[in-house]
Structure formats: structure tokens, C-alpha cells
Structure 1
Amino acid sequence: MEEALGQFFIFVGLLVCLVCLAKCIKFSRCIFLSFWKVWPKSFLQSMGQWAVITGAGDGIGKAYSFELAKHGLNIVLISRTLGKLQAIATEIECTTGRKVKVIQVDFTKDDIYEYIKEKLEDLEIGILVNNVGMLPNLLPSHFLSTSDEIQSLIHCNITSVVKMTQIILKQMESRQKGLILNISSGIGLCPWPLYSLYSASKAFVCMFSKALQVEYKAKGIIIQVLTPYAISTPMTKYLSTNMITKSADDFVKESLNYVTIGDETCGCLVHEILAGLLNLIPSWTFYSSTFQRMLLTHYTHYLKKNTNGS
């Protein structure tokens, strides 16, 4: 019995060492890729002629639209506000010379996907960025205190990822290449009380993306989920940028360095470090009433102090 118990602890110890080694290797690759790109400049363009970006009217989606156009792709902008899309399309065409198509839809609805499918017909789509999303309340709050937009959030944060992937993955599979970037959140890496609905919706994006990558990796398709923390966008009410809070443009530029790093990345080095530090916090501390009170008071105060339009 003692011998078997000893072998079990040795096995557990080796397993822990392997996990730590894997994390160290991933972190080292992030540092390396922050300074050097290991793929050629034409890599993104080689995926296909067009990139489709949802939630392209603002923030991260807008930044991906410009950055991918700079890499030589034609762009399909999909969002709700036609005026914003048209202005962005004109600017991309003038500054990069790339073609731009605009599709106006509301992702809080679920009857939009046949229309999108028709608009995307006959386009060779190499990259899909599932970025569109909504946050019920930037300030931490209990579930019953959040706005009554549950179905809209599910359609926007979950249904959009599934449906858009279903539409575009088929042609990627037939061409045996393609890149799908699904924008989740660091809040989706573990349950976050006081952001319960948003956290759960982003956790779905993480699990869905990782499972799909296993299914389609051998077919030449890269499916990666990004799990950033604080990004200054309209959804975060333009949270003041600092060492941790990135601007949308800076985040997008850095995240594209990591498209070959694996099925999950925070998208920037500083957020990888933050994720590692948060993983060191024991769950009983994180879920304690003291920590939750701190979120409701100190973090709420920080957000109100460092946002515009709150």
C-alpha cells in the first residue's frame, strides 16, 4: 500500500512539473514573439483574399479591420450602425487601397444569418474574427441587478460565434486553410462572480474554440481563442490606458504576432503575465465574501474614476 501511494505521489509530482514546464514554454514563446515574428509577412494574406470581422464598428473589431487591411486582405465589415461602417470602409479604402464590403446587421437578433450568408457568397474568406459582443454592465453587480437583456447577450456573445463559424468554416475546410480568431475574455477563464452572465458567455467561446481546433487542425485551419483582460474600447467606456489596460490598436497589433502560438492566448504579453498571477490566487480567496466586497467597492471606484461616459 505504501509503495503504491509513493508511486502515486511521484506520478502527481511529475504531472505538475510537466504542466509548469508547458506553461513556461508558452510564456517564453510569448516573450520571443513579442520581439520577433516567425512567420512571413505574407502569412495572413496567404489564408485567403478576404477577412470578415464582426463588431467592426468600434474598438477591437475596427482595429482588426485596419490591421488586416494593412496586411493585404480585403475586408468585410459587419456591425449594426451603418454610418460607422461606411466611414470605416471609406478610410480603409483610402489608406490601404484594399476592397471593403459592408454588411449591416444586429447580432442581438437570430434571424440574420441567411442574409449574411448570401452577402458572403463567392468570397474567398481566409480570416474570420468573431469579435462582436456585449457587456450588460461594466461595473460589477449581482446577477439579479443586471439589465434584462439576457437573450440579446446570448445571441450576441454566443450565437454569433457559432453561426458565423458555421458559415465560413465550410469553405475553409474545402480549401484546407483558414484562420478563425474568437475574441473571448480573461473573465471567461474561470467563474467571475459579479460578472456571472458575461463570464459564462465568454467561457463558452473558450471551450467551443478549443474543441473546434482539435477537430479541424489537421485540415490546415487555425482556430484560436483570445482571452484579453482590460482593453480600452466603447464597451469598457474608454477605460484609461496604462501598463495593463491596452488600447484596441496596440492589442490587435500584438495579438497578430501570436496566431501560430496555440489554441489559446491572452493576445498580449502583459495579459499573459496577469493571467499567470491570477492563477496563483487560491480559489477560496477569490470567491470569499471579502474579495467580492472589494470588487463591489474598490474596483467599482477605480472604474468610475478611470472611464469616460460612465
Structure 2
Amino acid sequence: MSLSKLIELFSEPGLVDGDGLASRLEELSLLEVVLTQLCGGGEGHCAHSLPNRSDTCGYLSSGGQPESARNVEQRCQGGCFHVEVQVESRKVVAMAAVDSFYLLYREIARSCNCYMEALALVGAWYTARKSITVVCDFYSLIRLHFIPRLGSRADLIKQYGRWAIVSGATEGIGKAYAEELASRGLNVILMSQDEEKLQNVAKDLADTYRVETDVIVADFSRGREIYDPIQEALKDRDVGILVNNVGVSYPYPQYFTQVSEDKLWDIINVNIAAASLMVHMVLPGMVERKKGAIVTISSGSCCKPTPQLAAFSASKAYLDHFSRALQYEYASKGIFVQSLIPFCVATSTTAPRSFLHRCSWLVPSPRVYAHHAVSTLGISKRTTGYWSHSIQFLFAQYMPEWLWVWGANILNRSLRKEALSCKA
């Protein structure tokens, strides 16, 4: 008979009902046998007193002395086991005090069982919640990047208006985005600091897509003085879409103290001030017409702190939060505000000899990226614009910050080393 069976035997409610108690107590003599087998020998003694009875049953210890008491005890010679059976107020209690770690663990686990069940419920709820979130994220990826491509393209002119402004439109994502808008029939106003490149891009768009184009030469790094001429040039235009693409970055990844003061001012004036003031300029007309779209191009480096790109990644985080806040403010007025968060795109700003400069399914060309990004306009308020970038973004969201920082340090050191070797 096992110890757990004995404890169960003397703990059953039926034990205290009538003569059943006496018959069960007769089996107590088995206790010494079991305990002796468990502990390898030793002394034991047993005594029972029945409630409301004068008679007692005695059990001789191995020393031959009878005992009569309310407690029944069995002690092993090594002191490893103690069992007490007590009959009191028609109640039998079985207790075990064990020096064995395994048996002690079982007793503690049994007493903590309710807490373990509560923790299991919390764990199940957390796992279910995370699983649902991941499933929803992947469904959103399919709904955003694949399903729209199966149907007809949205009529952006009807949704937002005939004219679009694209800043930083002479190369890279800005130029490709302007081409994609022109291919959908929108007239485009191109903005950049290089007038010759602006004229060439404007002519190509007009000849290829038969749309109207205009150019505004603007060096956003000069600060406040440039915005009055821009506003004057736009006063008669009903701008339906504003694409804040213009931006500057480091020549290569650098520690903050290695970045020049002029470069820091450029990042502030071009990355932060330009988008803010251009929105401030065109948004009143959109609100008046009760339609319009604002697209602000941020960067994947804004997901988490990115060492060796400190000022740049912080400026892109500003653009992301700025766009999301505007969406909450003006969605009810018919304005769609989108934060676009691309990861690596093969543009002229990437290191020419690095894998980031070669087009692949992870690193699309500006034209491929813009084609996908424009198809998300009006559907997603915050997106990477490209399907593989959305997968990267999901991993970045669930990635611990220390792992992101570790990977960013390795990548940026490699890019800096490559850039310095090219200069040498």
C-alpha cells in the first residue's frame, strides 16, 4: 500500500461514520510495514483513541512498550519520515513531514496548484493574443500587397484631385513615385534644387504620359526663406496629393560626434521642416475641398533606435509620428494621411559596392517600389509600401531592441568601412 493511498485512506469522510472508523483503524498496523520498507527499518509506535469511547487500541513499538495516545507516529531511524494520524472531533487528519526533496516538491506543488492554474490561464491568454496578432498581420500583408493587384487600379483623380506635388523628384523614390502618379493620369508638380534635372524629368513625364507638369526649384536646406516663393507658385493649384519625399542622410554611417554641424542643420531643415511646412501650406485647401492625400516617406530605421544613424533615424521617426497624428486629426475631414516606411531600396544613396545597391526581392528598384507603394494609397495609413519590406517590418516589431541594435551596429560598421575604403 502506497503512502498516498494510506493518507487517502485516513482522510476519507466515510471513515468517521459509525463502526467504519474502528474497522479502518485496524488497518493502521499496515503503516509500520510500509514506512519500514520506505525508510529501511526503524522504530515505530501506534496508539488510537476513538471519540466518545473509553477503549483504546495499542500498538507495540519495536522496543516492546505499548502506547496509548491520541497520536499515531512512525519515525524512521534516519529521521527521514514522520506520519501522524489524529482522530479528533469526528475528523481524521493525515500529515506528512518529509525531508526528501522530491516528496517536499510534490507537497509544495500540490499546495500551489491553484496559482499554477491561474498562471496557465494567463499564459494561454497571452499566447492566443499574440497568435491572433501575427495572423492578422499576415492577413493585412496579403490584403494590402497582393489582393489590390488582382483588381482594377483606383481612380486617384476622382479620390483626391488632379494635381500632385512630389518633393525630391529628380531621382530615387521621388522620381519613381512621380512617374507612377503620372501613369495614372495625374498632373505633377516636381520640386528639387537642381533645375536642369527637374526640367528633364518634367519633359519625360509630359511626353510619356501626356500629362501636365510644372517645376519649382527649391533648396530646402536654406530654411524658412524658401517657403514664401513656393506658396506663391501654388496659390492657383488645387493640390490633391502631396508626397513629402525630400530628405538627406549621412554620407555613410557615422557616430554622432563625427557628423558635421552643417549636416545636422540639413537633416533638421530638409527632413523635418520641409515636410511640416509643406503640409501646413497645402492642407487648408484640402480641408476646404474635403478630400486630399498626404504621403510622407519615412524610413525603416525609425522602427527602433539605430546607432551610427542617430540624427537621421530620429528625423524619420518624427515624420512617422507626425503623419500618424495628422491622420487622427484630419481623417474625419476627408483627408487621407499615409506614413510610408521603406526599408532598403536600391537608390544612389546606398553604398555602390554593397548588396544594398543590387536589386533583389529584398531590395527593390525605385520603380518597382513606387509601383507597389502607390497601390497602397487610400488603403493603409501606415505601411512599408512593399511586401518584403512588410515582412521585415513585422520581424522588427517583434524583435527585442538589443537584437536590433546589435544587427544595426554590424551592418553600419560594414557600410562605413566600405565607404571609407572607396574614398581611399
Taking structure 1 as the reference length, the TM-score comes to: 0.88
Cα distance change of structure 1 residues 90 and 300 upon mapping to structure 2, 3 Å threshold: same
CA deviation after TM superposition for structure 1 residue 9, in Å: 9.3
Decide whether the 8 Å contact of 1:45 with 1:73 is kept in 2.
yes
Is 2:363 the counterpart of 1:249? no
Decide whether the 8 Å contact of 2:306 with 2:313 is kept in 1.
yes
CA deviation after TM superposition for structure 1 residue 25, in Å: 2.4
Match of 1:81 among 194, 204, 208: 194
The letter for the 2-side match of 1:295 is: L
CA deviation after TM superposition for structure 1 residue 259, in Å: 1.8
Moved more, 293-302 or 219-228: 293-302
Report the equivalent of 1:206. Answer: 320
Match of 1:35 among 146, 162, 171: 146
Ranges in structure 2 where 5+ consecutive residues have no aligned partner: 1-112
Cα distance change of structure 1 residues 241 and 170 upon mapping to structure 2, 3 Å threshold: same
Post-superposition Cα deviations, 1:1-26, rounded to whole Å, max 9, x if no partner, equal x9999989967975775565345324
Distance 1:292 1:97 in 2: 44
CA deviation after TM superposition for structure 1 residue 234, in Å: 2.0
Decide whether the 8 Å contact of 2:162 with 2:187 is kept in 1.
yes
Distance 1:240 1:163 in 2: 34
Post-superposition Cα deviations, 1:193-247, rounded to whole Å, max 9, x if no partner, equal 1110100000000000000000111111110001111111122256121221111
Decide whether the 8 Å contact of 2:164 with 2:240 is kept in 1.
yes
Q: Secondary structure at the match of 2:343?
A: coil
Distance 1:147 1:9 in 2: 55
Report the equivalent of 1:45. Answer: 157
Is 2:395 the counterpart of 1:294? no
Distance 1:213 1:9 in 2: 40
CA deviation after TM superposition for structure 1 residue 278, in Å: 2.6
Cα distance change of structure 1 residues 240 and 173 upon mapping to structure 2, 3 Å threshold: same
Is 2:228 the counterpart of 1:117? no
Cα distance change of structure 1 residues 35 and 287 upon mapping to structure 2, 3 Å threshold: closer
Moved more, 120-129 or 146-155: 146-155
Match of 2:257 among 144, 166, 183: 144
Alignment of 1:1-310 (within 5 A): 14=125, 17-18=128-129, 21-37=132-148, 41-46=153-158, 47-110=160-223, 111-137=225-251, 139-148=252-261, 149-237=263-351, 239-287=357-405, 291=407, 294-300=410-416
Q: Secondary structure at the match of 1:29?
A: helix
Moved more, 143-152 or 245-254: 143-152
Q: Secondary structure at the match of 1:158?
A: helix
The letter for the 2-side match of 1:285 is: L
Distance 2:227 2:368 in 1: 31
How many residues matched?
304
Decide whether the 8 Å contact of 2:164 with 2:239 is kept in 1.
yes
Q: Secondary structure at the match of 2:221?
A: coil
CA deviation after TM superposition for structure 1 residue 101, in Å: 0.6
Cα distance change of structure 1 residues 11 and 174 upon mapping to structure 2, 3 Å threshold: farther
The letter for the 1-side match of 2:309 is: Y
Moved more, 271-280 or 50-59: 271-280
Taking structure 2 as the reference length, the TM-score comes to: 0.65
How large is the Cα RMSD of the aligned pairs? 2.9
The letter for the 2-side match of 1:37 is: P
The letter for the 2-side match of 1:96 is: Y
Decide whether the 8 Å contact of 1:140 with 1:295 is kept in 2.
no
CA deviation after TM superposition for structure 1 residue 43, in Å: 2.4
Decide whether the 8 Å contact of 2:177 with 2:374 is kept in 1.
no
Distance 1:256 1:120 in 2: 23
CA deviation after TM superposition for structure 1 residue 283, in Å: 1.7
Q: Secondary structure at the match of 1:119?
A: helix
Q: Secondary structure at the match of 2:181?
A: helix
The letter for the 2-side match of 1:89 is: A
Post-superposition Cα deviations, 1:43-100, rounded to whole Å, max 9, x if no partner, equal 2111101000000111111111111011110000010000000001111111111000
Cα distance change of structure 1 residues 37 and 295 upon mapping to structure 2, 3 Å threshold: closer
Distance 1:237 1:298 in 2: 10
- Report % sequence identity: 31
CA deviation after TM superposition for structure 1 residue 303, in Å: 7.2
Decide whether the 8 Å contact of 1:126 with 1:178 is kept in 2.
yes
CA deviation after TM superposition for structure 1 residue 28, in Å: 1.7
Ranges in structure 1 where 5+ consecutive residues have no aligned partner: none
Cα distance change of structure 1 residues 67 and 285 upon mapping to structure 2, 3 Å threshold: closer
Cα distance change of structure 1 residues 20 and 262 upon mapping to structure 2, 3 Å threshold: farther
Distance 2:419 2:387 in 1: 23
Q: Secondary structure at the match of 1:287?
A: helix
Q: Secondary structure at the match of 1:231?
A: coil
